[in-house]
């Protein structure tokens, strides 16, 4: 088995842990561990912490070290430097909003499995040529929503997606019902006000609601 095939298997396993991967923007490192514990307790153990704040890498490091059962990942990966920093922090998977040749080359050389983003059929085909069968569809709602993604199922049957971007608890079932969707990414599980207030029971409840959604086969 090639390196890309092994890493794609690892990505698929991560995608199948729960119907929703929480997508987190964290400003205060002190919130990282209790937040992650709440998400794991609620049944959403795969957690994507985005590199959109200065606290992100330290938060990933803390979760990786202290939260049992968490499958911690890094989001908004844009470069080889991001990929290396994420791996050093203890991330177990990486997610990018799109792709570039340099990022894909870096991913080939990294042990960290990558879930790359695509928004068009041409981008999906380019990813297939590089050996990627599991992709992020981003930004899901602005790019065409579940209708566009569903239209890809016949001409691109070998690809499975994690749509992310603008999805809510109410709209997630439309995506999860598609044959080419394994899970969705959602920021609604960790809203800024609950993080700021340290309302971990409320975050655990949101995670339980998300974990209760039905996945496609």
Give yes or no: 136 in active site.
yes
Q: Residue 176 corresponds to which tokens in the numbers above?
A: 């999860």
Maximal C-alpha separation, the chain: 47
Please name the residue that has the structure tokens 């655990």.
204
Which residue out of 136, 147, 204, 209 is catalytically annotated?
Answer: 136
Q: Within a 10 A sphere around the Cβ of 155, how many other Cβ atoms?
A: 10
Residue in the block written with tokens 């068009």: 120
Any residues with CB less than 8 A from the CB of 182 and at least 6 apart, and which? Answer: 12, 15, 16, 134, 160, 161, 162, 215, 216
Give the active site residue among 5, 12, 48, 129.
Answer: 48
Indicate if 147 belongs to the active site.
Answer: no
Q: Residue 39: exposed, middle, or buried by beta-carbon count in 10 A (0-12, 13-18, 19+)?
A: buried
Q: What is the distance between the alpha carbons of residues 42 and 211, in angstroms, rounded to a whole number? A: 7
> Which residues belong to the active site?
48, 136
């Amino acid at each position: 088995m090639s390196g890309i095939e092994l890493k794609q298997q690892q990505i698929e396993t991560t995608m199948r842990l729960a119907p929703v991967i929480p997508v987190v923007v964290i400003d205060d490192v002190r919130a990282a561990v209790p937040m992650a514990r709440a998400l794991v307790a609620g049944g959403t153990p795969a957690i994507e912490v985005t590199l959109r704040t200065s606290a992100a890498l330290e938060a990933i490091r803390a979760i990786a070290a202290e939260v049992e059962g968490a499958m911690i990942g890094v989001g908004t990966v844009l470069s080889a430097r991001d990929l290396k920093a994420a791996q050093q922090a203890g991330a177990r998977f990486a997610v990018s909003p799109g792709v570039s040749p340099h990022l894909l080359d870096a991913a080939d050389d990294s042990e960290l499995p990558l879930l790359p983003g695509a928004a068009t059929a041409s981008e999906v085909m380019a990813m297939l040529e590089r050996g990627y069968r599991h992709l992020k569809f981003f930004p899901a709602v602005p790019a065409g929503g579940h209708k566009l993604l569903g239209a890809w199922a016949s001409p691109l049957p070998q690809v499975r997606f994690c749509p992310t971007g603008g999805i809510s608890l109410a709209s997630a079932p439309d995506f999860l019902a598609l044959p080419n969707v394994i899970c969705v990414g959602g920021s609604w599980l960790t809203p800024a006000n609950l993080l700021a207030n340290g309302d971990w029971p409320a975050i655990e409840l949101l995670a339980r609601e998300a974990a209760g959604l039905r996945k496609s086969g």
